[in-house]
């Protein structure tokens, strides 16, 4: 699974440009599903056992945070807007990759308030050129951050664990699961980082009876970190609430019961900032019972997002438990 994770996190796919990730996922799952379609917005929907009773949707987003070129000056320096919640504190000196492999580094202007984090208007991209004519990108081109995958023991670090780790968990679940009694809908969604835009239409099309998103969440286990009960390595976290949703208590209970029966360690997540595809799915059509299985992750939206492999494996185990038994909600 580590090899799969490395390939997924190193694939280029800022919000709205998920094609390369989608192709990788398609190739990994095509032998294991009954049908596979590409949604009008570019998401990938794979179904196992269509027509088989309860329709359970599992969702993970393929996109990662990135940038979009907004202006090019005469010296060939460009300005950019963030795609999603880019952390400006970690931008300076960072490298950005474009679809064709073009690279740039992020620089910062001289500022009077040097102790404060830079503001967006202070930052620029340097492509190593001296004129607008030589600048290899144009306004509207999108970039993603560039950083290779590393493993620190059981802890895996990459620029796009959010949410390629969720994508990897769905793929692994798909491969390991036995023929389910339910219709299981695997939705690899788009444009989550720019406001949960892909998941709602995906759920509208799939019309599930219940849904679980798999995404990352913050932890409270770093020096002077946020006061939060989630720790790395403590097992997957069952979301109870975040900024945009209250998880359906029936979905919370479903996850807790299956975890307890199988002796899978788990934690409860109450997140003050941020949300996931589950929030958008929940508000689709007449409403969908929805919840989220969260993977504890340090340093979210920085070049080095860190997860624990044990949490990842336990999340797969928990999803397999849910899929293998009857669901009455």
Residues interacting with Co ion, by CB under 5 A?
162
Q: Which of residues 159-178 bind Zn ion (CB under 5 A)?
A: 162-163
Spatial distance between the Cα atoms of 99 and 79, rounded to a whole number of angstroms: 18
Q: Residue 277 binds which entry of Zn ion, Co ion, none, with Cβ cut-offs from 5 to 8 Å by kind?
A: none
> Which position's Cβ is nearest Zn ion?
163
Helical residues (DSSP H) of the chain, grouped into ranges:
2-9, 19-29, 161-176, 199-206, 249-262, 277-282, 309-324
| Tokens representing residue 311 in the block | 């949490």
Out of 215, 242, 248, 305, the only residue in the binding site for Zn ion (CB under 5 A) is 215
Beta bridge partners of 269: 239
Q: Does 64 bind Zn ion (CB under 5 A)?
A: no
b/e for 151-170, b at 16 or more Cβ within 10 A?
eeeebbbbbbbbbbbbbbbb
Task: Identify the CA nearest to 32 among candidates 45, 47, 43, 22.
Answer: 47
**Catalytically annotated residues:** 192
Q: Beta strand 183-189 with 44-48: parallel, antiparallel or unpaired?
A: antiparallel
Question: Whose Cβ is closer to Zn ion: residue 307's or residue 319's?
Answer: 307
The H or E element that residue 164 is part of is helix 161-176
Q: Residue 215 binds which entry of Zn ion, Co ion, none, with Cβ cut-offs from 5 to 8 Å by kind?
A: Zn ion
Selected range binding Zn ion among 43-51, 111-119, 209-217, 314-322, rule: CB under 5 A: 209-217
Q: Measuring CA to CA, how many Å separate 172 from each of 59, 175, 315?
A: 13, 5, 10
Q: Measuring CA to CA, how many Å separate 56 from each of 12, 52, 82, 99?
A: 29, 10, 34, 34
Question: Least distance in Å: CB of 62 to Co ion?
Answer: 12
Question: Least distance in Å: CB of 305 to Zn ion?
Answer: 10
Binding mask 290-319 for Zn ion (x = CB under 5 A): ------------------------------
| Tokens representing residue 57 in the block | 């949707």
Q: Residue 146 binds which entry of Zn ion, Co ion, none, with Cβ cut-offs from 5 to 8 Å by kind?
A: none
Question: Least distance in Å: CB of 64 to Co ion?
Answer: 8
Instruction: Tally the residues of the chain.
Output: 329
| Tokens representing residue 94 in the block | 């960072």
Q: Are the C-beta atoms of 195 and 61 separated by less than 8 Å?
A: no
Question: Whose Cβ is closer to Zn ion: residue 185's or residue 276's?
Answer: 276
Question: Least distance in Å: CB of 128 to Co ion?
Answer: 30
Question: Whose Cβ is closer to Zn ion: residue 183's or residue 311's?
Answer: 311
What is the total count of residues that contact Zn ion (CB under 5 A)?
3
Question: Whose Cβ is closer to Co ion: residue 137's or residue 292's?
Answer: 292
> Which position's Cβ is nearest Co ion?
162
Question: Least distance in Å: CB of 193 to Zn ion?
Answer: 7
* Residue whose entry in the numeric block shows the structure tokens 């969702």: 59
Q: Are the C-beta atoms of 277 and 199 separated by less than 8 Å?
A: yes
Question: Least distance in Å: CB of 152 to Co ion?
Answer: 21
Name the residues that contact Zn ion, by CB under 5 A.
162-163, 215
């Amino acid at each position: 699974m580590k090899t799969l994770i490395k390939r997924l996190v190193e694939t280029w796919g800022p919000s709205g440009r998920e094609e390369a990730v989608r192709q990788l996922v398609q190739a990994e799952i095509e032998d294991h599903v009954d049908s596979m379609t590409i949604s009008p917005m570019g998401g990938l929907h794979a179904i196992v056992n269509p027509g088989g009773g309860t329709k359970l949707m599992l969702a993970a987003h393929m996109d990662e945070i990135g940038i979009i070129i907004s202006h090019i000056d005469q010296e060939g320096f460009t300005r950019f807007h963030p795609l999603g919640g880019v952390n400006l504190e970690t931008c300076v000196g960072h490298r950005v990759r474009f679809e064709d492999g073009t690279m740039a580094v992020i620089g910062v202007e001289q500022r009077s308030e040097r102790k404060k984090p830079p503001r967006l208007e202070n930052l620029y991209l340097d492509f190593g050129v001296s004129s607008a004519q030589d600048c290899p990108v144009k306004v509207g081109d999108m970039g993603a951050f560039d950083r290779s995958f590393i493993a620190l023991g059981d802890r895996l670090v990459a620029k796009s664990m959010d949410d390629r780790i969720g994508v990897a968990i769905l793929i692994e679940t798909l491969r390991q699961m036995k023929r389910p009694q339910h219709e299981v809908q695997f939705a690899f969604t788009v444009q989550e980082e720019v406001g949960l835009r892909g998941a709602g239409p995906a759920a509208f099309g799939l019309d599930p009876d219940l849904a679980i998103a798999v995404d990352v969440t913050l932890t409270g286990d770093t020096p002077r970190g946020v006061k939060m009960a989630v720790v790395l390595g403590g097992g997957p976290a069952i979301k109870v609430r975040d900024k945009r949703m209250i998880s359906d208590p029936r979905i919370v209970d479903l996850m807790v019961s299956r975890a307890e029966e199988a002796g899978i360690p788990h934690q409860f997540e109450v997140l003050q900032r941020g949300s996931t595809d589950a929030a958008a799915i929940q508000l689709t059509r007449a409403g969908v019972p929805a919840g989220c299985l969260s993977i504890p992750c340090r340093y979210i939206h920085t070049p080095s997002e860190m997860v624990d492999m044990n949490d990842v494996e336990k999340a797969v185990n928990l999803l397999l438990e849910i899929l293998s038994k009857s669901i009455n909600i």
